[in-house]
Amino acid sequence: MRNFLGLCPMSRFRILATLGGLFCLLLLFTFMLYRSVVNLSGEYIDNRTVSIDIQNFSEYPTKYFGVVSRYPAHIIYQQYQPLMDYLNRNTDYHFQLKLSNSYSETVQQLASGEVDVALLGSYMYATSKDEHDLIAILKPLNEDSLALRRSVLFTSKNSIIHKTDDLRGKKLALASKESFSGNWMPLHMLRLNGITRDDLEDISNYPNHHTVIHKVLRGEYDAGAVRESVARDFMDRGLRIFEYSDPLPTSPIVVTKQQDPDMVAAIINALVHQDPARTDKAGPIDIMDGGTVVSYIETDGSEYNFIRRVTNE
Amino acid sequence: MSLKIKIIFYVGLIIAFLMMIISIAFLYQFRSVILEKEISNARSVSSAAAIPILDAFIFSEQDFYDPSQILERHISYFMANVNGMKFMHVYNRGNKLTASTHWDPATPLQARPPEFRVTNTVRESVSIHRHDEYGWVIEIEYPLFIAGKYLGTTVMGFDGNPVRKEIRSLFIGLLILNIVVTTITLYVLYKLISKLTRSLGQLTDAIDQFDLKTPEKKLPLPDSDDEIGHLGKRFGLLQQRLIESKHNLAESQRNIYRAEKLAFIGRLSSGVAHEINNSVNGIQSCMYAINKDPKNHEQTEEYMKLISEGLQHIEIIVKKLLEYSRKNSPSLVNVNIAEIVENVLKLCSYKIQKLGITITFKPDTDLPGIKADKYLIQEVLMNLLINSMDAVSDGGCICIKAGRKNRQSIYLSVEDDGPGIAPEFTDLIFEPFFTTKDTGKGTGLGLSVVQGVVESHDGTIRLDSQPGVKTVFTITLPINGKHERTIN
């Protein structure tokens, strides 16, 4: 009897049994696959997953490192915490950042002992060192291994201003009055060109160097003055520098004269006498408004006397 | 199992297996992409959420304010604005719960499990698990640190149920696609194979129906322009060659028959001439001697006796030739074979005793009577018995057996323990005038006559001989004797 695909009953039974068995296996496999696919339980670790070692500093004395916080706190920490980590690894002290709203506040914190060491602006150091017995112990070196920076006068790319003299009758934006490179030095440059405040239509100060640049690029001001390193970041966004200052000393690391000499020595030792073979160096540190710091050099503070002279003009 | 079933089964199995492998690979690839996308989204939200929390912790460290309140605000903000966020916990650097969507009223500040700080390493981790309240949850443990400074950890839970639903939909979609593609492929394959096997079946039917007896009958052959079509055309050519071969064979058979007949006539003529010539020569010699000395009555009497014997021998030869060639139909009557055997044995009893031969006759109990010509059968048995007696030496044995062969016929066999017949003679033994006996002892016509009689009864005769051991002649005869035939 042949009635199913021309097969005899025996062959038909064998084929149906085989197909049935295969179908059952397939069903079981599909079910198990479904269970496996929809079961999302598990831990997912990829290359982006980061981990850090938490150091225990409870046995070390805590020292506070003062910095000015003109930006959100986490941005300031991103800039300066690597320096703290380096000092923590290479000294017997536990350094913690202490934020302040201004250099003046940082100076007060130094004077009161609230902070033990601070990164001060060169103007604030030069004008406060005598009053609060401050001493500069280190100054940062830039990518050219120079402890120098410059102020620049800039305008927008399409501006008619091409030299300092063109600023007459124009509006000028400056950085904070506590900033030597963003305020005092540009004013000094104007004076050197025979331009006084009265020769300008308007002159205003803003707390951050970046704010100054934005004001000029948006056309609110005809020109501005900031630190060269900051201005360079905006060269491809329509900024044009038309005047450079003479080199200026970089912002120093400052302590009070009463500070523990061992701690001061430890900081100098860690930052100046770096072992070239070490991979965890103190730099480069991209300091907002301050350019890139690659290393440090000791200073006796004498180069900052120039700043004092300029500010007294 | 037919070729069609085999091909469909194995090809179907291979296609289904390949489709399955490809689908599983796709499934896991897409699953991975879906999960990566969701985890990436969750990570993005986590890192965005981490910024204000980091600031809050930093300000807290600077003793500006207690972070709990502002963290609660952040959590509320994220819960309200991020779709699918189920819970969020913030732990400070001491692993104490600082803010959460799920404060436990009994223990407002929960400490993290102690195993969290077994080592001093924290890392970002993403896990997916089934939550009692929310079902499937993507949980991200996001450590809050800047450079080497660890400030705390956030734990955020995102709704994982849509992801699972998406993966399930993907699975079902691929499963349906698999089934549909496999079914369509098998259907197309089935149709193709059916077409192929239909042509093969057509060819097989044509081969089955082909009969050389009716070569003119037109057979339907596949005419497709493929291998099977070519095979059909080749079969058509083969058919023609077979028909031609049949014609050639028939022609050859006719030629052989003609040649054989001529050869037979030659052998018959030479046998007749030889047998008669011996007697004629003897008669002539006697006549010569009588004519030479007619008065020698004693000699004449003696030679006349010899002449008479010679004439008798010629008469016997002629008579047997006539018997061999007569065309009368046997007259069929009811015959008892056992009775015929007994009669023949009686007739030969003198010779049997003289030669000292032992003859046994063993008729089967179920030996039926048959319709046959009694006298012709008697002559057949007599010829076979005389041959056997001539063959066996003194004291030899002859065994006669008879019985029912099947429902339609009986057998009768005569077996002797004589020297047997050489294999080269077995084809000639039934030809007229062929004999292995000494000259003058036989005419060479006995077995020819036997064969003629048996065939006239629609029976058969078979010779089985083992030289030096035995010789058996076995005759089968129809019980009803209905196939009456003239002796040719």
What is the per-residue pLDDT across A105-163, written as a single tens digit (0 to 9) for each? 999 999 999 999 999 988 899 989 999 999 999 988 876 777 778 899 999 999 999 99
List CB contacts (< 8 A) between B136 and chain A: 40
List CB contacts (< 8 A) between B126 and chain A: 43-45, 49
> What contacts B395, CB < 8 A, 6 or more positions away?
B356, B357, B358
Rounded to an integer, the average pLDDT of A256-282 is 80
In terms of domains, do B134 and B232 share one? no
Q: Is B121 on the interface with A (CB under 8 A)?
A: yes
Residue B56 sits in a domain of what CATH number?
3.30.450.20
Give the 3-state secondary structure of chain B: CCHHHHHHHHHHHHHHHHHHHHHHHHHHHHHHHHHHHHHHHHHHHHHHHHHHHHHHHHHHHCCCCCHHHHHHHHHHHHHHHCCCEEEEEEEECCCEEEEECCCCCCCCCCECCHHHHCCCEEECEEEEEEECCCEEEEEEEEEEEECCEEEEEEEEEEECHHHHHHHHHHHHHHHHHHHHHHHHHHHHHHHHHHHHHHHHHHHHHHHHHCCCCCCCCCCCCCCCCCHHHHHHHHHHHHHHHHHHHHHHHHHHHHHHHHHHHHHHHHHHHHHHHHHHHHHHHHHHHHHHHHHHCCCCHHHHHHHHHHHHHHHHHHHHHHHHHHHHHCCCCCCCEEECHHHHHHHHHHHCHHHHHHHCCEEEEEECCCCCCEEECHHHHHHHHHHHHHHHHHHCCCCCEEEEEEEECCCCEEEEEEEECCCCCCHHHCCCCCCCCCCCCCCCCCCCCHHHHHHHHHHHCCCEEEEEEECCCEEEEEEEEECCCCCCCCCC
Residue A142 Cα, gap to closest chain B Cα (Å):
22
* Inside any domain, residue B388: yes
Q: Last residue of some domain: B168, B200, B231?
A: B168
A51/B122 Cβ within 8 A: yes
Residue B1 Cα, gap to closest chain A Cα (Å):
6
Cα→Cα distances A172→A176, A183, A243, Å:
13, 11, 14
* Inside any domain, residue B123: yes
In terms of domains, do B320 and B334 share one? no
SS3 A117: strand
User: What is chain A's alpha carbon radius of gyration, rounded to the nearest angstrom?
Assistant: 32
In terms of domains, do B27 and B158 share one? yes
Q: Is B439 on the interface with A (CB under 8 A)?
A: no
Nearest CA in chain B to A44: B126
| Residue burial A281-290, b: 16+ Cβ < 10 Å; e: rest | bbbebebbbb
* Inside any domain, residue B383: yes
Number of domains making up chain B: 3
Residue B465 sits in a domain of what CATH number?
3.30.565.10
Is residue A244 within 8 Å of residue A228, measured between CB atoms?
yes
* Inside any domain, residue B399: yes
In terms of domains, do B344 and B321 share one? no
Rounded to an integer, the average pLDDT of A283-304 is 70
Residue in B39, B146, B175 nearest the CB of A78: B146
B128/A41 Cβ within 8 A: yes
* Inside any domain, residue B156: yes
Chosen CATH of A62-147+250-311 out of 3.30.1520.10, 3.40.190.10, 2.60.40.10, 3.60.20.10: 3.40.190.10
Closest alpha carbon to B126 in B98, B155, B92: B155
Vertex A193: Cα angle to A190 and A199 (nearest 5): 60
CA A49 to CA A9: how far, in whole Å? 63
Which of B95, B123, B149 to mutate to test binding with chain A, by most A CBs within 10 Å of its CB?
A: B149
pLDDT value at residue B391: 85
* Inside any domain, residue B176: no
Greater confidence (A250 vs B349) lies with: A250
Q: Is B191 on the interface with A (CB under 8 A)?
A: no
CA A154 to CA A159: how far, in whole Å? 10
Q: Is B54 on the interface with A (CB under 8 A)?
A: yes
pLDDT value at residue A245: 92
Predicted confidence pLDDT, tens digits, chain B (488 residues): 677 778 888 888 888 889 889 999 999 999 999 999 999 999 899 989 999 999 999 988 887 778 888 899 899 999 999 888 999 999 888 878 888 887 654 444 455 554 444 445 667 788 999 988 889 999 998 888 888 788 888 999 999 999 999 999 999 999 999 889 888 988 998 888 888 888 888 888 888 888 877 777 777 887 777 888 888 888 888 888 888 888 898 888 888 778 767 766 776 677 677 778 878 888 888 888 888 888 888 888 888 888 888 888 788 778 767 766 654 567 788 889 998 888 888 877 777 888 888 899 988 888 898 998 888 888 888 888 888 888 886 778 999 999 998 888 999 999 998 888 888 888 778 877 777 766 556 667 778 888 888 888 889 999 998 888 889 999 999 998 755 443 33
Q: Is A55 on the interface with B (CB under 8 A)?
A: yes
* Inside any domain, residue B360: yes
In terms of domains, do B159 and B11 share one? yes
In terms of domains, do B162 and B229 share one? no
Tokens of B353: 């005793």
In terms of domains, do B35 and B96 share one? yes
Q: Last residue of some domain: B325, B353, B372?
A: B325
Rounded to an integer, the average pLDDT of A155-173 is 94
In terms of domains, do B159 and B278 share one? no
List CB contacts (< 8 A) between B58 and chain A: 73-74, 77, 99
CA A149 to CA A5: how far, in whole Å? 93
CB burial class (10 A; 0-12, 13-18, 19+) of residue B262?
exposed
For B313, the domain range is 217-325
In terms of domains, do B132 and B264 share one? no
Cα Dmax for chain A: 121
* A151-246 has CATH 3.40.190.10 classification: yes
Q: Is B175 on the interface with A (CB under 8 A)?
A: yes
**Average pLDDT taken over every residue of chain A:** 86
pLDDT value at residue B158: 93
List CB contacts (< 8 A) between A96 and chain B: 61
Which of A3, A44, A85 to mutate to test binding with chain B, by most B CBs within 10 Å of its CB?
A: A44
List CB contacts (< 8 A) between B14 and chain A: none
Report yes or no for ipTM above 0.85: no
B123/A50 Cβ within 8 A: yes
Q: Is A34 on the interface with B (CB under 8 A)?
A: yes
* Inside any domain, residue B307: yes
Closest alpha carbon to B446 in B359, B386, B398: B386
pLDDT value at residue B260: 67
- What percent of chain A is helix, strand and coil (3-state, nearest 5)? 40, 25, 35
Rounded to an integer, the average pLDDT of A29-54 is 81
In terms of domains, do B232 and B107 share one? no
Which of A8, A52, A80, A95 to mutate to test binding with chain B, by most B CBs within 10 Å of its CB?
A: A52
In terms of domains, do B321 and B343 share one? no
Question: Residue A199 — pLDDT band, cuts 50, 70, 90?
Answer: very high
Residue A298 Cα, gap to closest chain B Cα (Å):
26
Q: Last residue of some domain: B151, B168, B185?
A: B168
In terms of domains, do B343 and B463 share one? yes
